[in-house]
Structure 1
Amino acid sequence: MCFIGHGIFGVITKEIWCNYFGVFGIGREMAYSLMPLVGWIDIGMGVMMLVYPIAALPAWLVFWGFITAMLRPLSGEPVAEWIERAGNYGAPLAFLCFTGPWSARQLFQRTGAKVVTDRQRLEATGWILRSVVYLLVAGHGWLNLIGKPGILLQYARLGFTAPSIVAAYVGWFEICLAFLVLFRPYRPLVLALFFWKAGSELFYPQFGWLEWIERGGSYGAILALWALSPFGTGKLRELATVLRHSLRRRHNLQ
């Protein structure tokens, strides 16, 4: 979703991308020429991730997602824009941690479903996901507090007569929620957060569905944390033991 959503924005030549190309000294005319190329490459990688996934793709997405998110503050936008996009680079990082370790050769081999029984790897993945979800929720809360124009326009179009006041309440609510998820990721809370995040992203005043698709990493990170949250760091040893016993039984049956 991240690759494809981001790629479509390149194909349709989203105007604000000119600012990001400008960080590298590229003018508007050249930027508009390069946008479709970047877009089609992203779309191609997204399709490949669906039909023939290799570990190199999420590894690239960690780098690409981090750089493209950093271009926002580098081009003059608030730092919160980079923080709020933690799902773009944090979700693939969690995937690599969960399914790794990878050798250089394995990066270009097709990845398959894995049953992870390593407690330390489960714990590391869990903390990566906690941190990612914390950043993306807190970052969005920060954007509310500073009154991002696009967010205020969302609230105005939803019928709120005082969008700045709504943004302040939502901002503090999301920041408190982010801290709670970081330290106490209760499963019902994380699931509620998923619906909150996925639902609230639908109300962008422009490119609503594309903006929603591009943030697929955010929803994926929250769902992955929901999948691990029942066990917590204190119960991952039991989870790993159960998985090992399950694999042994399957091996004996075969």
Structure 2
Amino acid sequence: MKKGTDKMLKAINITKKFGALAAVDDLSFEVKEGQVFGIAGPNGAGKSTLYNLITGFYKYEGKIEFDGQNITGLPTHKIARLGISRTFQIPQVFESLTVEESVNLGGRFGSSGKFDSGYCDEMISFASLEKERGNKTDLLNLLGKKRLMIAAAMATKPKILMVDEPMAGLNVLEIKQMTNLIKKINQDLNVTVIIIEHFMKVLTELANPILVIENGREICIGTPEEITSNPEVIACYLGDTHDA
């Protein structure tokens, strides 16, 4: 995808506290149109909480702008209809629905106009779920459920897709397939992607820039080369897993 210069998403001094604990602590960053923007950090760094702030699950201090509009405090459905969609670290599916019904549900939830069944069909095929479209979602394996979350999220026609540790629990072949799917979303569908990922080799292949956080605060932000050579990142996060 051609990388734009416009700031699509801007977080300004955002903070979220649970009691005395600051899960996200005075964090600021910008995501430009066309980027695959990576987020890394150790367990408990505040990565998924950050996703919950952007998508309206929690109230917070500070300000978030999307496409030039202040979205601070908006409910999740309004944020989705503006063009931000997400997946979850632990697959969230409606087990009583079929694959097709689940993707259509995503399309209806995220639609600000007429429901587009044809586009939902395209997303089922795009996510390589055509053979499973009539199956109940509880029959899908882990990769299938992750593909389904992406297809349902993409059915909302987002400008930004936020994926949360999409490689977790997958084998080497499945990781390659998921990596290729995310690249195609960015390059073929012209969707800006924000990705949280634990596997640094995958993240550095997909994302530029990468933001590394610890205890809800920025450690550094930069290119994959800058991140993987940064002493603070190596100390707080990479360590012995740098080559894993």
Is the TM value for this pair above 0.5? no
Which structure is richer in relative contact order (CA contacts within 8 A, separation 6 or more)? 2
Select the structure of larger CA radius of gyration: 1
TM-score by length of 2: 0.28
- Higher strand residue share: 2
